[in-house]
Structure 1
Amino acid sequence: MRFMLRNLTNLAQFSVRRSARNMSTLPDVHHLPQLHSTLEQAKRFAAYRAVDENLDYLNHRVIGVGSGSTVIYVAERLGQYLLDPKYAVHASQFVCIPTGFQSKGLILTNGLRLGTIEQHPSLDIVFDGADEVDVNLQLIKGGGGCLFQEKLVSTSAAKFVVVADYRKRSPKYLGTNWVKGVPIEVVPTSYIRVLSDLKTKLKCKNAVLRQGAPAKAGPVVTDNCNFIIDADFGEIEHPEILHRDIKMLVGVVETGLFIDNASKAYFGNPDGSVDLRV
């Protein structure tokens, strides 16, 4: 059996090497055709630099691919490693773990191997976006509705790298730039109770059940078949305390406050520069 597996592995690597003869080198992001907006350019600058500076292609095998508009370019960059003869053999061994339905599609579209968190509960590295990043690398995530799976994957990794555009960089506190509230995933039957507790016990300014309109009548339903509440607390000076207090409420599955999780964050700017926060 070991002999057969070894032969299959060797055959796969030979196939990659043979096809690599017609491959192209890893493109320089500044030499690619421009995208339709400077904002999308900024996202791509951040994603490409984050992957290039943090992906250890010789040793990393299990890679988390997050959700959101910036992660589109993370998956794109990872896929380009498959097309470069220098990296192709190693890149063909990457197993990519998604954080939701969207990222599954990104992984497959870019020719990467799809895995699951059940198969690979320990990851080497995760690349994901954020709705806001404060000066201490605390995050608000969940604007896209994937916060539980994003947190499951990011906290299962040895390294979590945030990729975002310049709008997501808070000058100090969370809740400064992102004013839609902290996303909170809740069990559907509990949402009335949680809405009440957020207002009476935690004194949030406002809390609403996220709706799916105009694409869907009724509330947003997560990939885990739960509801999402968006709770506005204004500027959040102590997100670790708020996260703990929200988690204590009956019915709460997870919060969109990611505490002491990220190791660094890349922010793309329209002029092509990328700012790093560590």
Structure 2
Amino acid sequence: MSSNPIETGKKLAAYAAVDEHITADCKVIGIGSGSTVVYVVERILQKPELKHLIYIPTSFQSKLLIIEGGLTLGSIEQYPEIDVTIDGADEVDPQLNAIKGGGACQFQEKVVAEAAKKFVIVADYRKKSSNLGVEWVKGIPIEVVPMAYKLVMRSIDSKLSIKPIDSKLRMAINKAGPVVTDNGNFVIDAHFGAIDRPLDLLREIKLLTGVYEVGLFCGMAQMAYFGEGDGSVSTLSA
């Protein structure tokens, strides 16, 4: 077990989610993206009875985890009905609404989460929040068609019922230019502060021309597992 308490907590939360929700009776499992999901796949690989299941990735990262683990890779086109999807989150409120997309995979993550009979979140305690937008201050990730990104940025500032505190095009770190998603799109990060009605905001943003997907996941998760700083695991249920 890692000497880093944050990593220890994430691992314990991921292990608990796998142990309680993925069984040999399942057929198709969705595998999310992010640092916590590494531990999800690690736990799956420790259970030989789960080897025969089909695993659907949400990103290039999770696809590699599935392939390198020797698991059976599937696609959402082949398997539009998923038994369980386990994924991380950037922030989770008490109603299990979440902000996702810090890794720019929000579209695939939402598709695979919506296809699942059960959607489970795993995260560390720092991701728990009284309201979305309080702990995660980098903004809601909004995936946009490249040619429309300036239009969308103007619309975010002028057409929504609440105004953003800040909105910016996400730039790549180790290359010149913007981050490009697996779908070939750009990402705008729009910070609104504490969000009282995330579902209403999600609907407003989705209606803006040029928006591909929004990193607000509202009313989707059934359960969340959080690794606490003391090594314990806490849960929230919808």
TM-score by length of 1: 0.83
Q: Alignment partner of 1:159: what SS?
A: strand
Matched residue type, 2:172: G
1:228 matched residue in structure 2: 187
2:46 matched residue in structure 1: 80
- Retained in 2: the 8 A contact 1:199–1:205? no
1:54 aligns with one of 7, 21, 46:
21
Shift of 1:56: 2.4
Higher strand share: 2
Shift of 1:270: 2.8
2:135 aligns with one of 177, 180, 184:
177
- Aligned mates of 1:56, 1:73 — CA distance in 2: 17
Q: Is 1:128 paired with 2:87?
A: yes
Q: Is 1:206 paired with 2:166?
A: yes
Matched residue type, 1:43: K
1:218 matched residue in structure 2: 177
Gaps of 5+ in 1: 1-33
Q: Alignment partner of 2:47: what SS?
A: helix
Matched residue type, 1:49: A
Which stretch of structure 1 is more off in the superposition, 160-169 or 267-276?
267-276
- Aligned mates of 2:171, 2:51 — CA distance in 1: 40
Matched residue type, 1:101: F
2:34 matched residue in structure 1: 68
2:231 matched residue in structure 1: 272
- Aligned mates of 1:36, 1:274 — CA distance in 2: 17
Q: Is 1:193 paired with 2:188?
A: no
- Aligned mates of 2:175, 2:34 — CA distance in 1: 19
1:112 matched residue in structure 2: 71
2:99 aligns with one of 116, 137, 140:
140
Which ranges of 4 or more aligned residues in structure 1 deviate by more than 2 Å? none
Give per-residue Cα distances to partners, 1:209-253, cap 9 Å, x unaligned. 00002x121000000000000001110000000000000100001
Q: CA RMSD in A?
A: 0.9
Give per-residue Cα distances to partners, 1:75-94, cap 9 Å, x unaligned. 11111112xxxx2xxx2321
For the pair shown, which has the larger CA radius of gyration, 1 or 2? 1
Give per-residue Cα distances to partners, 1:162-205, cap 9 Å, x unaligned. 000010011x2101110000000000000000001101122211
- Aligned mates of 1:37, 1:109 — CA distance in 2: 25
1:38 matched residue in structure 2: 5
Shift of 1:36: 4.5
Where relative contact order (Cα < 8 A, 6+ residues apart) is larger, the structure is 2
Identity %: 54
Shift of 1:109: 2.1
Gaps of 5+ in 2: none
1:102 aligns with one of 52, 56, 61:
61
